[in-house]
Amino acid sequence: MKFFYVFHAKRLKQMILILVAAFFTAMFMFMETTIHLPVFSTKDAPKALYKGEKGVALTFNIGWGDEKAEPILDLLKKENVTSATFFLSGSWAESHPDIVERIAKSGYEIGILGYNYEDYTELEEDKIRQDLARAQTAFAKLNIKDIKYVRPPTGHFDKKTLAAAKQLGYTVVHWSLDSKDWTNPGTDKIIQKVLEAENGEIVLMHASDSVKQTSKALPSILNGFKKEQLELVTISEMMANANATTEEIN
């Protein structure tokens, strides 16, 4: 006995579309629960800056340590670098007022790297706000005023972080190029990575004691920027030059 199965073409197409949609929905939900996905903020939502259009912004995070910050400042002075942005944790700034003063007097921009080194995505919004407010107080005591920018201590942030920062009058700054200097991969690798920068890049570097090769890599990086005629700017200078690209991490 022979059996014949007849499929209605339209119904078959509908079933395929439903299966495909279900597959991509499941995949998206899985990814959303396992990694941070970058999405663009809505027009009225708090935003995070991660890229500009003109110039390259070298940014240095400092959260702890006594040894690496000043050699990096010495090198920037030697190379006549007048524009850089330092994100400092409030607790570190309190313990190193002389270095904070030197950064400010050198004309470099200062941003807040929280107060304590905590992952803001694991905190409630009021706790994030308290940490930022504590850092704000610490910088005010050091006579560092008009701070505009915040970088979450671990680099991880979400809508709560953006809302807390906005409420205190700050804008969150991420980065578009990670030097990976904190992994100490070797001077040559740091140089190679940073020299991938193009106009508009916000480059993440560090001046905490965890980095062993950053100061050795900087002369070649700065020389490479000169050859490529890339202008070094602060975050504020970059944002003043052109519209910035914004990002929100869920």
Joined tokens for residue 243: 């519209």
Joined tokens for residue 101: 């003063």
43-65 pLDDT, tens digit each: 556 789 999 989 999 999 999 99
If we measure between CA atoms, which residue out of 144, 69, 151 comes closest to residue 118?
151
If we measure between CA atoms, which residue out of 54, 52, 134 comes closest to residue 93?
134
Q: Is 76 helix (H, G, I), strand (E, B) or coil?
A: helix
How many residues are recorded in the chain?
A: 250
In eight-state DSSP terms, residue 68 is: S
**247 pairs with which residues across the strands?**
48
- pLDDT bracket for residue 240 (50, 70, 90): confident
pTM, rounded to two decimals: 0.80
